[in-house]
Amino acid sequence: MAIKYKMHFEISERKVILRLFDVLFVLTALYIVGYFFEFDYFTISVNNFNWTIILAVYLNLFGSIFEMYNLQVASNQFLVLRSTILTASLTVLVYLLTPYFSPTLPNNRIQMLVFYLAVFLALFAWRMFYVLFLASNRFVQNALLICDKEQVEELILGLENIDPHYKIVAYVNSDEAAGNDFEYHYVKNIPINDMVRYVTENHISEIVIASQKPEGITVDLYHHLLYLLESGNIIREYTQVYENKTQRIPVQYIARDFYRFFPFSRSNNNHLYLIVVRAFEIAFSLTGLAIGVVLLPLILIGNAIGNRGKLFYTQERVGKDAKVFSILKLRTMIKNAESNGAVFTTTNDVRITPFGTFLRKTRLDEIPQFVNILKGEMAVVGPRPERPVFVDEIAAMMPFYETRHVVKPGLTGWAQVNYSYGETIEDSLIKLQYDLYYIKHRSIYLDLNIAFKTITTVLFYRGQ
């Protein structure tokens, strides 16, 4: 039986499409402007092809910083407008100010304006086309979930807010003894015997299996799945989909089969990678401390007005191999903030001073941690170090929590750029999933991705 599919793309494929067409639309617009109008600042030819490459690099670099390749942002018209303005503006500005890599600045200022308008309008036109005709239709991916009835809500909630175009539209109850009378919002309950018909008629993109009981895949269900597989349908296991879509390790589902998720990234034992990263950390830390020295007079004034007390403070944190070290930070809370014992920081925490809020939002409070990085106690990128009292509390409740300590803690991390400040044990679980994903997939590419997202966090004043 031949089954017709609706074309869809994975998250990584959509991001590649966005990047390629950003460059293609901008270059096409500049070519058209140069062909029909007296615009000669930027031309595309074999002799100056490096101009084109540099422009493409700038577009992708600043597009990453201003979230042009965040699919949630790329699907929202207002956020697209904001990101497009910022990306086009900074791309054009930097391009104009780097004449060693780009054309010499034109004498006619109209040329600069035309250049900016061409870049901005090309980006905006392409992104509006994406939002209106692609994101809302072409990239929609419908999935069928096979799981126990009591898992339906938890499993769906684990995916529905990550990929705006991925929908679990129906489920098959693998526990037949529990009955088939439960539906979750728009998610229909499909009897096993109707599964093949439903998949065929509703253009299901993939079947996701999440049954954790050995007896969950009955002989009858197995034969239906085998038939669908032979017909060309995609069948995947839930933890694979979860990790791919959320970029987190689903620790709540790996207790019995952890060996499928370990060992972690080979980069953790790659000496060349570690040497390169360490050299970068030293250079970056020295630069960060130099910036801190320049900003210190302003910080001292702000501290005297808005903090009224000591500027620096130290606190015990757990580092690599579970060794405790003293982290150095700028004080952001009132004196004796934990007179009643250690507690998680919360959103709008009343203990945070007015100036402390500014320091946290801009991440300036973490500048002294460059000292910890130079001492080798921390890295630039890695799981954020937690306090010993919280480590003991969380580790007692969560499997694999102490696995975070196989690498150095970081100034910034995958959890910090993807999730808000942890206020509860439940938040710590989500952040653990992100941390384990980083440890598993650690690489130069992922480190750079985190660095760009951190810049975005600072620029958009999202620090906690």
Q: Provide the CATH number for the domain formed by 141-246 in this structure.
A: 3.40.50.1380
C-alpha distances out from residue 85 to 29, 187, 391, Å: 16, 38, 43
pLDDT of residue 136: 65
Question: Residues 168-197: pLDDT tens digits?
Answer: 899 998 876 555 556 666 788 899 999 999
Contacts of 90 (CB under 8 A, 6+ apart): 62, 65, 66
Rounded CA separation 372/300 (Å): 21
List the beta bridge partners of residue 209.
146, 237
Degrees (nearest 5) of the Cα angle 176, 251, 391? 140
Number of H helices, E strands in the chain: 16, 9
pLDDT of residue 8: 65
In the chain, CATH 3.40.50.1380 covers 141-246
List the beta bridge partners of residue 352.
333
Rounded CA separation 319/385 (Å): 6
Q: Residue-wise pLDDT tens for the chain (464 aa)?
A: 444 445 567 778 889 999 999 999 999 999 999 988 888 899 888 888 899 999 999 999 999 999 899 888 888 889 999 999 999 999 999 999 998 888 988 888 899 999 999 999 999 999 999 998 887 666 778 899 998 877 888 888 777 767 767 888 999 988 765 555 566 667 888 999 999 999 999 889 899 998 766 566 788 888 999 999 998 889 998 888 888 888 888 877 765 566 566 656 667 778 899 999 999 999 999 999 999 999 999 999 999 988 888 899 899 999 999 999 999 999 888 877 666 666 667 666 778 888 888 898 888 999 999 999 999 999 999 999 999 988 988 888 887 888 899 999 999 999 988 887 666 777 888 899 999 999 988 989 899 999 988 888 888 766 56
pLDDT of residue 259: 57
Q: Which long-range contacts (CB under 8 A, 24 or more apart) does 150-156 make?
A: 150/178, 151/210, 151/212, 152/182, 152/184, 152/187, 153/184, 155/210, 155/238, 156/184, 156/187
